[in-house]
């Protein structure tokens, strides 16, 4: 439902109601309804005049007539206010501080890496020696320590300044 329609209906209702209430309430209700209706009609006419040409009314259709100028002015204002070199530099400096891959690394599942390492070791010349001590089952006890150490190593890598610089360079060159 249109808000202006609701305003019009309520104001007309107040005007009508003023004829059926005791005399002490008639004037306040009547004037409230009349002022509300006149304000609503004035606002609707003003908004209509901004966008549509009304014959013999000076200033009507101003947005339609000067749309390209308004659009260019708004674009210029936005570019000068929000996209200055200083603003962009400050934004990217703050974004660099926000990129923290450590929680992502700490939550990662390193089981596929251990499985690949285990398979590689079993297929290497050490596989025969490990088979004498229980084979892949003997390596299974190393899964958790391997995951902890790999997680710590990868966290250290992604926290390093060199990695962050490389990541920043990659992000800026891909944009």
CB burial of residue 81 (10 Å; 0-12, 13-18, 19+): exposed
Each residue's pLDDT tens digit in the chain (175 positions)?
A: 788 899 999 999 999 999 999 999 999 999 999 999 999 999 988 888 888 888 887 878 888 888 888 888 888 888 888 777 787 777 777 665 556 778 888 888 888 888 888 888 888 887 788 888 787 888 888 888 888 888 888 888 888 888 888 877 777 776 5
Instruction: List the domain boundaries for the chain.
Output: 3-73, 84-174
Task: Return d(Cα 167, Cα 152) in angstroms, integer.
Answer: 19
Q: How far is residue 27's CA from residue 94's CA, in Å, rounded to a whole number? A: 61
User: pTM for the full model?
Assistant: 0.43
């Amino acid at each position: 439902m249109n808000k202006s329609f609701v305003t019009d209906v309520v104001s007309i209702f107040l005007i009508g109601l003023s004829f059926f209430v005791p005399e002490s309430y008639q004037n306040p209700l009547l004037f409230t309804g009349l002022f509300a209706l006149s304000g609503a009609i004035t606002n609707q006419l003003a908004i209509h005049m901004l966008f549509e040409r009304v014959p013999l009314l000076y200033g009507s259709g101003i947005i339609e007539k000067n749309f390209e100028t308004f659009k260019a002015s708004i674009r210029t204002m936005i570019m000068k206010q929000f996209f200055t070199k200083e603003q962009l530099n400050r934004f990217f400096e703050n974004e660099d501080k926000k990129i923290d891959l450590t929680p992502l690394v700490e939550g990662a599942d390193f089981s596929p890496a251990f499985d690949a390492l285990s398979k590689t070791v079993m297929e290497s010349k050490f596989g025969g020696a490990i088979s004498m001590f229980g084979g892949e089952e003997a390596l299974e006890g190393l899964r958790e320590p391997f995951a902890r150490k790999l997680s710590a190593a990868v966290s250290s890598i992604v926290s390093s300044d060199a990695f962050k610089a490389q990541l920043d360079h990659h992000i800026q060159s891909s944009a």
